[in-house]
Structure 1
Amino acid sequence: SAGGSWRRPACGCGVVVSALPTVVQAGHQELPARTNGSVPTTPALARDALHTKMEQLEEQLLSKILTLQKERQAANTDRSQQQHDIEKELNSLQNRVTELEHGESCYSPPDAFKVIIPVQNNYMYARMKKSLPELYAFTICMWLKSKALAGLGTPFSYSVPSQANEIVLLEWGTNPLELLINDKVAQLPLSLKDKAWHHVCVAWTTRDGKWSAYQDGEQRGAGENLASWHAIKPQGVIILGQEQDTLGGRFDATQAFVGELAQFSVWDHMLAPAEILGLANCTSHLQGNVIQWDDQAVEVFGGASKGGFAACEEGRKA
């Protein structure tokens, strides 16, 4: 050029300038060439991490709250159950106190109970689970309180397959009280229809058929030739409150006992008068050696029930 001076081409700047960003991009790849909303920044990442952590903590807190609520509900249920059990026990104790005060229902000793037959019909009765062995003598004692309007009915009956009336104590209608052995009859001069408690015993031996009858410890009648030389047959059925026309059944409502019975016991010999008196006035606790009065040995049927009975107290109220 004229004067020897050099001039930069007009387009050279554009080339150099346009190349600079490329160099910067090539030499510093770790830096973003530009920033916009499509790529999260460090503060945004921190916020996301914090948000995630808070969500996790909230989930943990919620889980803990639910666990505590379940534990609280379980504890409340346990307390409610405990309270229910305590109230039930208290009610039971209160009922026991009431029963002891009135002498009814529950009874502690196995023999401190009575059988209650409230209505005269042909389906209320008690049955002894135990039977009799073969007997050549016996004494049968019991406490009873009749509520019958007419005859006493049948306090007890013992039936065997070949003889429905093996042993029966019966007062039917206007007839006198009778003791039947092998369907043979002896009339007993006892008076038991005053609706009061009475202690009753009947004793018998096959030798000459001798018998005796006691009311409240006193002998009221005696005789002989009642089924003489007969042996009481074993393995029969003892029913309290009904007369058996067949083994264990076919009862007649007109012959049923209505009232209360207790302390039914059987011995295999004739008790002495002093022993019977001791039973009646409660100075003796002699137990039957064949049949003992025990709660587990007596079943009730048809609406008959059991209640508490203290012979020396309730029996002597009369």
Structure 2
Amino acid sequence: METTILKNILILLLAYFTQSSAERKDLTGKMFTFPVESDTAHVILDPNLSKSLTAVTVCLRFFSDLTRAQSLFSFATPASPNSFLFYKQANHVYEINEYDNVVLFRGLEDIPNRWNSVCATWNSQTGIAQLWVNGKPSTRKGVRRGRDISGRPSIILGQDQDSYGGKFDKIQSFVGMLTDLHMWDSVHCKKKSR
């Protein structure tokens, strides 16, 4: 019975996401719910982006009871499924993966079953990446410098793209709620938690 209810909820959410992706919408005030571990449930964002990115900042809030690794934000281009991946690993470890150059941030505490605010930044000119979790900054770390992110973007919430626009793994799927998603083509410093 519980499995049938969860499947029906997932089908309704997928129908909503499919209808919502047909037209451009502002995500202000929207919350996306990912109720079950899945290799199919995801949200596709279709940005109006025609220029190369020399910097990226992604901020969002998430609520999850999982302590396993899960994908928060996946930005792929035809050249790389990991043009800018923002990934929560287990045990308070976060990952920024920029063109398969991975940097790990440890010790930034997120709390299960509570809203957590996270921001990730990267600057091509300096190669510096930084993370904020609930208003607390990480150390700045070098990822890769001198190469912009270019190509038609595929932005996915709730899954890690292992190929451009797909090839999802349910063990990497996000389970919980995401809201307050913002992305900039510059470095924004997050000083306070919400």
TM-score by length of 2: 0.78
Percent identity, please: 25
CA spacing shift, 1:170–1:216, aligned 2, 3 Å: same
Is residue 177 from structure 1 mapped to residue 94 from structure 2 by the alignment? yes
Is residue 143 from structure 1 mapped to residue 61 from structure 2 by the alignment? yes
- How many residues were matched structurally? 167
Return the alpha-carbon distance in structure 2 between the equivalents of residues 144 and 214 of structure 1: 13
2:82 is matched with which residue: 158, 161, 165? 165
CA spacing shift, 1:110–1:258, aligned 2, 3 Å: closer
SS of equivalent residue, structure 1 residue 271: coil
Task: Give the equivalent residue in structure 2 for 1:290.
Answer: none
User: CA RMSD of the aligned region, Å?
Assistant: 2.0
Return the alpha-carbon distance in structure 2 between the equivalents of residues 188 and 244 of structure 1: 21
Larger Rg: 1
2:125 is matched with which residue: 201, 207, 213? 207
Contact 1:138 1:267 in 2 (8 A): yes
1:114 is matched with which residue: 11, 14, 31? 31
Return the alpha-carbon distance in structure 2 between the equivalents of residues 243 and 131 of structure 1: 21
Q: Which amino acid in the other structure matches residue 216 of structure 1?
A: N
SS of equivalent residue, structure 2 residue 140: strand
Contact 2:78 2:151 in 1 (8 A): no
| Cα deviation, residue 149, structure 1 | 4.2
1:277 is matched with which residue: 181, 186, 191? 191
Q: Which amino acid in the other structure matches residue 46 of structure 2?
A: K
| Cα deviation, residue 206, structure 1 | 0.8
Contact 1:131 1:238 in 2 (8 A): no
CA spacing shift, 1:180–1:110, aligned 2, 3 Å: closer
| Cα deviation, residue 175, structure 1 | 9.0
Return the alpha-carbon distance in structure 2 between the equivalents of residues 220 and 175 of structure 1: 12
More helix, by proportion = 1
Return the alpha-carbon distance in structure 2 between the equivalents of residues 140 and 174 of structure 1: 21
Contact 1:184 1:227 in 2 (8 A): yes
More RCO (CA 8 Å, sep 6+)? 2
Return the alpha-carbon distance in structure 1 between the equivalents of residues 74 and 97 of structure 2: 9
Return the alpha-carbon distance in structure 2 between the equivalents of residues 149 and 182 of structure 1: 26
TM-score by length of 1: 0.49
Return the alpha-carbon distance in structure 1 between the equivalents of residues 172 and 185 of structure 2: 27
1:22-37 equivalences in 2 (<5 Å): none
Return the alpha-carbon distance in structure 1 between the equivalents of residues 43 and 35 of structure 2: 12
Return the alpha-carbon distance in structure 1 between the equivalents of residues 56 and 67 of structure 2: 30
| Stretches of structure 1 lacking an aligned partner (at least 5 in a row) | 1-108, 282-318
CA spacing shift, 1:150–1:193, aligned 2, 3 Å: farther
Is residue 250 from structure 1 mapped to residue 167 from structure 2 by the alignment? yes
Return the alpha-carbon distance in structure 1 between the equivalents of residues 101 and 160 of structure 2: 15
| Stretches of structure 2 lacking an aligned partner (at least 5 in a row) | 1-25
| Cα deviation, residue 147, structure 1 | 2.5
| Cα deviation, residue 116, structure 1 | 0.4
Q: Deviations over 1:59-112 (max 9, x none)?
A: xxxxxxxxxxxxxxxxxxxxxxxxxxxxxxxxxxxxxxxxxxxxxxxxxx9611
